[in-house]
Chains A and B, each alone.
Chain A
Amino acid sequence: MSLDAFYRFQNLARDESVVFFYTGYFSQAIVTAMADALRLRLNQTDASNVQRRKLFSVFIEMAQNVVHYSAEHLTASDSDDHEIRRGALWVGERGGQFYVVCANPVDRNQTHRIRDKLAPLLGMSNDDIKQLYKQKLRADNDAESKGAGLGFLTVARDASGPVEFDFADEHGPHSPTTMFYLKATI
């Protein structure tokens, strides 16, 4: 990559008011370091305490989602601790609101499962999401989840509007993986 491409990348990031961007491998140590840096960066913005907390929560849920579920990993695919997996995470600001976007490859056969979890949340009010959260809090764990199965719901709860998601093929329609994007505005 020539430096010229790097300037274009920097300019785009500035034009889009990017507060934070990371792409590469995610581990708990990297997530923790990014979280510390994000907190310091947010302290320099006009974000309210409530907004900072919600943004932090969304950031952690998304970043740990990459650590646990990205289809591209350096660690054994069945490990559930000390994992290292690939993804990207972007925090930006627009008109006094912040947004967080994460991207990570997922197995193509997981897209239905992800869609089924996220699609119902799109049309729900914040009160409905809170009710569903309380209900799921007391429900038995999803067998495929490595946590409490509340990650997407937590992102939706802390977002100020409906979350957005998409799948985009990185390596064509026949690749076993596709790129999963999730965006939340706070």
Chain B
Amino acid sequence: MASNKKYWKSEAELSPNNSIVEQLRQNEFPEEVPVDEFLGDKEGLAATTTNRRDFLKYVGFSTAAASLAACEGPVNYSIPYVVQPEQIIPGVANYYATTIANGYDFASILIKTREGRPIKVENNKDAKSNNGANARIQASVLSLYDSSRLQGPMAGEEQTDWDTLDATVKATLNATQNSGKKVVLLTQTYASPSTDRLISEFQAKYPNVSHVTYDTISEDAALSAFEARYGERALADYDFEKADYIVGIGADFLADWQGGNFDSGYSKGRVPKNGKMSRHVQIEANMSLTGANADKRIMLKPSQQKIALAKLYGKLNGTTVGGELPEAAERALDQIAAEISKNRSGAVVVTGIDDVNAQAVVLEINEMLGSKAFNPSAPRYIRQGSTAAVNELIADMNAGKVGALLMDGVNPVYSLPNAAEFLEGLAKVDVSVAFSTLWNDTTAASKFTGASNHYLESWGDVQLKKGHYSLMQPTIKELFDTRQFQTALLKWMDNDVSYYEYVKATWNENILNGSDWNQALHDGAFVASGDMTSEATAAPADAAEGAEEAMTSSVVPVASALRALASSPSSDMELVLYSKVGMGDGQQANNPWLQEFPDPITRVSWDNYLTVSKADAAKLGFENEHVANGGLDGSYATVTVNDITLKDVPVIIQPGQAPGTVGLAFGYGKKTGVREDMQVGVNAFPLYQNFSTIQEAKVTKAAGMHEFACVQLHKTLMGRGDIIKETTLEIFNTKDHAEWNHVPQVSLNHQEVPATTVDLWEGFDRSIGHHFNMSIDLNACTGCGACVIACHAENNVPVVGKKEVRLSRDMHWLRIDRYYSSEDTFEDDNEKKDNLSGAIGSKVGFEEMEDPAVNPQVAFQPVMCQHCNHAPCETVCPVAATSHSRQGQNHMAYNRCVGTRYCANNCPYKVRRFNWFLYNNNDEFDYHMNNDLGKMVINPDVTVRSRGVMEKCSMCIQMTQKVILDAKREGRTVKDGEFQTACSNACNNGAIVFGDINDENSQVAELKDNDRMYHLLESVGTKPNVFYHVKVRNTEKA
């Protein structure tokens, strides 16, 4: 039964003899809170010159002064436009379709603008591909208003003007024509048809120009494998919605693997429909977001993953492949192979191992299976970097062969593993120009810096995948004297055409094929019609044919690849570098929203860290401990890879980390051009040797303890285990919902009745008008956190900083709780023990049971204000600042709140947030609300809260009210789907659905009637308006 499953938040809870856990059942804080420090300091009190009477005088005076000051209001000015643009109406938002393409994140998005200011990123639901904005893309609008942005071109550290820069570059371009030196463009991946055309024209004018594409986090192996097989440097596309059986081997495909944006398809397949859902097996070393969502997770070192991949191929192909694997893994692979062979075309195998052989084998497997989810005929172009070319460039630079280096969208001095070599070479280049929005290590080392446009100020286009185009249009005029790289190229070519005209011309000539440019620009995305039809009909046939061809043509290379994989050498400690959901490749390290975004797995914000398994931590002496103020501390480690040493890397003991491996995230440790508060973490790029995320490492303990800012660290669930409900697909399909979705019972008149039927309060009639409900499907939620940032942006949630987060004063209105769990029940453990058979079986079985913390299951649960119909917060407010509406929303009137915090204490869900400080206009909180530029992102429809008031999720009442008003004005009823919140809008996975349950035909009403529906803490009787859907796992029992 699902409700008996044991959940835990820290390993300490699993030990029955742990005194701390016993203590915690009674006390919230493990150690005594040191109140004496500030209350009992007799000496300090005696020494002060302010006595009680003086204090009262001060209070009296300041109160009087404040009241007098309040009598005089300020004079406000209203300055209308001189000539108002036709489409701008003050107070009404405009939406523009555009595209983000910063070399790491590629997506079709909508930008909401108010009075000409972009304030929010939304998903472009009409786009056919890459239409989901992840957390980083959601936050990218704040980077536009970064007060440390470059405001004009620079020569070294001096300001210069564009004319000087243009003249120098042009002179160099002309001078190098005959000198035999090369001019190199070192850029991010653009995947842009117009930029490609522009660069080839540039090369035609200056024949010594070469173009090197550099991806900060490389997909070179996958690109090379695809190129070898299909003759095009691209990445295969996958549609996980079509997959019934997914095997991921070291591939974090729900995050950023091969460009990301696979999660919405994945989630659609994960919701049980007609008794079916996809099954997902993940073989990995780090506990990744993808592994956390898997039905079965197998921990293997990267070297073993390679062998496992080779063996899986062998088992599917009926051949024998050598190599050593642990017994359990071997059996698991047998099972995978058996399950795949039941429905070969429904299966798909993906891998993230940075090894051409591994990537080639995966392509081979998917071809062999004829996988429906695998689509090599419309490949993705959003990664094009070549590590070989980058290395060659560095060699050329050092040999003095490069006359000019023009860089855009890259920061090689920070992100190259061999940055020192690059720097040396850069000094030998005659003219170097780096285009960037921010001052960084590369601009500091370049002769010139081109202040670049933010993507929201730029024109552009992207071919996301074959035939799928997307347009980028500016949503605001350049804030500063900046220029996008393409415009600069045009200038240097003496071409007077603007880049807008250039893009338009490219589209009219090559892409639109007669379709309307304005329509394409309006939609933001365009699918070439020819490609659409051929894809739809020809893809499966292609795949089948391709499979046969591949079998015959590529036997030899696959065989050698398999041999290479099977003989992968193992090492004692393997380091797996990864990118965090919040930080990616570190481009937006200066973005406070992303810094404060807690990692979905570790729930740590403002840091990166070495994830270590418990066994290794014990071996190496690493510790994690909670201190009295509620913070988490961790030991420091020294990590060495091939003579390169990273010192003082903080350690997190991560359940689910494969023993013998450690993980470390990219994107942190930036110092140059990053505001002091955001110079956090360590830079992992120096360890990224040969552009491989898998490294052999030596890890030792260093002195000292690191202070983390972790948002979820209560050691226990305080006996509220039923907050998450889950079951297996088998039970879900065969048993009555009362069994797997157990409603807590209470005693009424000495009879056990379901808690939901008992009501202490008189209910309020909510059947008239709108009644908003939110549905959260724990099956569809991958924990990606896009909703968290969307909520941040929509509701002007302040950033509080690392120190405050550590004091549990984080302000996120919406949090995604992460729970670990092991076996279903302790009875299950006993049963398992009794049924073990054979020497090997019992050894493995006992090993598994020995420590459930080794490889736990993970569940994500987004929690925001539950908008209880019987809200405990409302009854305790002494000033009636929080009250209920007939539409189901729990209102919070900030201007009425006096800050007693009773409501937060009485809230069973802990979703209320208190403003301990004034976070705006306060230089103590130097994030974005204290400068004019950063304030431009503030949503004018939501109050910016002041100090001393409670705040919480409003269920985006500003959005629901707007929908109602629009309907009233147009004299029509509201259609289903119109009501949205920031989080439901941001959720591209369909996990969060919002709507009006009084509209019987609405999606949310249907979801409420679903058997999987339950409320949080039903036994409390709060009757929330947010409900959840029981998580169903497709475990092997199914």
A, B from the same assembly:
no
A contact set with B: CB distance below 8 Å: none
B contact set with A: CB distance below 8 Å: none
